[in-house]
């Protein structure tokens, strides 16, 4: 049964990246609550003076695709040492990702762009397939605590 679940997760991972656009899900939908993200965080980056955090996490299961990325929008009421999540989206079922060495750029119109090397599980041979994703993250000042967020992701 566990093997079947691992194969299903690997299939989901491959189909999740079949097109150019990547659908980001609420963290709760990918099984990544704040505890999972923070305790499994292998790397993290802070953007917009701490208002946005990006976490590379590992859930250990499924074994073929345990890695994920979470984009967490911090509430202005949070202390410097903690998060009060206003919004959390991410993707899971990666074989790995390299957030630490991601290339970043900033443009006032499009916000922060990160190019992240990833690896996806290859169900045919049990190995991995290298790839890259591009995340665009922008905060939009709506006049009330910068509530608006724009996030897009695509496979390169």
156 residues of the chain, pLDDT tens digit each: 444 344 444 444 444 444 478 888 888 888 787 777 877 778 888 888 777 888 888 877 777 778 888 888 876 665 555 656 677 888 888 888 999 999 999 988 888 999 999 998 888 888 899 999 999 888 765 555 545 566 888 898
How far apart (Å, rounded) are the C-alpha atoms in residues 148 and 118? 28
Token pair, residue 89, equals 């989206």
Domain ranges of the chain: 2-155
For 6, the enclosing helix (H) or strand (E) is helix 2-16
How far apart (Å, rounded) are the C-alpha atoms in residues 25 and 84? 19
How far apart (Å, rounded) are the C-alpha atoms in residues 156 and 143? 34
What sign does the CA torsion over 27, 51, 107, 94 have? negative
Residue 131, class by beta-carbon neighbours within 10 Å (0-12 exposed, 13-18 middle, 19+ buried)?
middle
User: pTM of whole model > 0.85?
Assistant: no
């Amino acid at each position: 049964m566990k093997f079947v679940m691992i194969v299903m997760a690997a299939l989901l991972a491959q189909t999740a990246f079949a097109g150019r656009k990547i659908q980001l899900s609420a963290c709760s939908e990918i099984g990544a609550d704040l505890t999972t993200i923070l305790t499994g965080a292998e790397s993290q980056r802070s953007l917009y003076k701490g208002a946005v955090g990006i976490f590379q996490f590992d859930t250990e299961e499924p074994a073929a695709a345990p890695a994920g990325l979470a984009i967490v929008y911090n509430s202005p009421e949070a202390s410097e040492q903690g998060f009060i999540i206003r919004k959390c989206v991410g993707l899971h079922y990666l074989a790995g990702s390299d957030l630490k060495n991601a290339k970043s750029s900033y443009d006032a119109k499009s916000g922060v762009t990160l190019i992240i090397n990833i690896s996806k599980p290859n169900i045919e041979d049990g190995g991995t397939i290298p790839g890259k994703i591009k995340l665009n993250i922008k905060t939009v000042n709506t006049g009330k605590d910068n509530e608006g967020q724009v996030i897009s992701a695509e496979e390169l």
